[in-house]
């Protein structure tokens, strides 16, 4: 009985990442859904991405790349190192159907992040994922498969904010200081606070307020300066919706 050559490995149910270098084709066999996870930084374990730790000249035929070609192209025969370069810089080989599925999944992930962080300026209510996707189409936002969803979501938010279609959801925080610092703290925070939801002055001065997430550091600095570090605040909600009209006096 003929033995299968050691230079040939049969693999099934794989996604291939291909890199052409020095006139040669080099391929690695990866698990589905792991390549994008690696590229956006959520997966850092190479073993979780590769179906087999080897470099091929043709994955579908199971032909392993020879060491001479590897040395000429990569100046090394270190397989893990070469796999990382191919994984980072190579082209993901998928069918049109798979490519569309990956694209739609990334669009939905970006839209979900945008919706979780923003509100509709017209209704002052949370942005829906469907509305976020629609707004992305309206501004002709180009989704890039090799760029992380988080980076692209922040870019979408910046563009939509500039057009006045959305704004970042407010952050709900609770501020507490000794009573003697109440007025100066309240006065200095005028520009940071969008809305005061509650206030009391029993044993200490306490306020629950909505603020722009971008004012986080400024609020922290004000409390440290005005209360000699005796005041503090805690975040109650990272994406709160403003429901009232009550504001600072």
Q: Are residues 183 and 210 in the same domain?
A: yes
Question: Is 246 domain-assigned?
Answer: no
Question: Is 1 domain-assigned?
Answer: no
> Coil, strand, or helix at residue 33?
coil
Question: Is 245 domain-assigned?
Answer: no
Q: What are the 10-residue block averages of pLDDT along the chain, 249 residues in total?
A: 46 81 94 84 92 93 93 95 95 76 88 88 82 92 86 92 82 86 84 83 86 78 80 74 42
Side-chain half-sphere CA neighbours of 208 within 13 A: 8
Sign of CA dihedral 212, 213, 218, 219: positive
* pLDDT tens column, 159-206: 998 888 888 877 788 888 888 888 888 888 888 887 888 888 888 888
- Look up the CATH number of the domain holding residue 190: 3.30.70.240
Q: Are residues 156 and 183 in the same domain?
A: no
Question: Is 4 domain-assigned?
Answer: no
| Amino acid 112: pLDDT | 93
Question: Is 30 domain-assigned?
Answer: yes
> Is residue 55 exposed (0-12), middle (13-18) or buried (19+ Cβ within 10 Å)?
buried
User: What is each CA distance from 180 to 100, 199, 229, in whole angstroms?
Assistant: 61, 15, 13
Number of other residues whose CB lies within 10 A of the CB of residue 91: 13
Question: Is 108 domain-assigned?
Answer: yes
Q: What predicted TM-score, i.e. pTM, was given to this entire model?
A: 0.50
Pairing mode, strands 118-120 and 193-201: unpaired
User: By the 8 A CB rule, do 27 and 18 touch?
Assistant: yes
Nearest CA to 201 among 226, 172, 219, 181? 181
Q: Are residues 87 and 111 in the same domain?
A: no
Q: Are residues 110 and 150 in the same domain?
A: yes
Q: Can you give the residue range of the structural domain that contains 67?
A: 15-92
Q: What DSSP line would sit under 34-100, residue for residue?
A: HHHHHHTTS---HHHHBSSS--EEETTTTEEPPHHHHHHHHS---HHHHHHHHHHHSEEE--HHHHH
Query: Which of these three, 92, 112, 146, is where a domain ends?
Result: 92
User: By the 8 A CB rule, do 248 and 183 touch?
Assistant: no
Query: Which of these three, 167, 199, 225, is where a domain ends?
Result: 167
Query: Which of these three, 130, 145, 167, is where a domain ends?
Result: 167
| Amino acid 6: pLDDT | 45
Q: Are residues 216 and 153 in the same domain?
A: no
Number of compact structural domains in the chain: 3
> Coil, strand, or helix at residue 160?
helix
| Amino acid 137: pLDDT | 93
| Amino acid 134: pLDDT | 92
Reported as type and span, the H/E element at residue 116 is helix 96-117
């Amino acid at each position: 009985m003929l033995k299968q050559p050691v230079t040939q490995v049969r693999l099934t149910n794989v996604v291939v990442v291909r890199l052409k270098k020095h006139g040669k084709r080099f391929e690695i066999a990866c698990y589905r859904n792991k390549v994008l996870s690696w590229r956006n930084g959520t997966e850092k374990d190479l073993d979780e991405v590769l179906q087999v730790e080897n470099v091929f000249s043709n994955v579908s035929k199971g032909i392993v790349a020879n060491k001479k070609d590897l040395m000429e192209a990569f100046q090394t025969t270190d397989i893990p190192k070469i796999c990382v370069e191919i994984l980072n810089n190579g082209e993901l080989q998928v069918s049109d159907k798979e490519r569309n599925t990956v694209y739609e999944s990334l669009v939905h992930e970006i839209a979900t992040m945008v919706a979780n962080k923003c509100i509709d300026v017209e209704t002052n209510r949370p942005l829906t994922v469907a509305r976020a996707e629609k707004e992305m189409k309206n501004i002709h936002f180009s989704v890039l498969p090799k760029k992380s969803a988080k980076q692209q979501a922040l870019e979408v938010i910046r563009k939509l904010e500039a057009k006045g279609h959305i704004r970042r959801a407010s952050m709900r925080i609770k501020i507490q200081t000794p009573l003697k610092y109440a007025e100066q703290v309240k006065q200095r925070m005028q520009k940071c606070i969008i809305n005061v939801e509650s206030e009391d002055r029993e044993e200490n001065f306490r306020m629950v307020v909505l603020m722009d997430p971008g004012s986080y550091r400024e609020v922290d600095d004000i409390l440290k300066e005005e209360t000699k570090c005796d005041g503090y605040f805690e975040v109650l909600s990272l994406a709160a919706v403003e429901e009232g009209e009550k504001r600072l006096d």
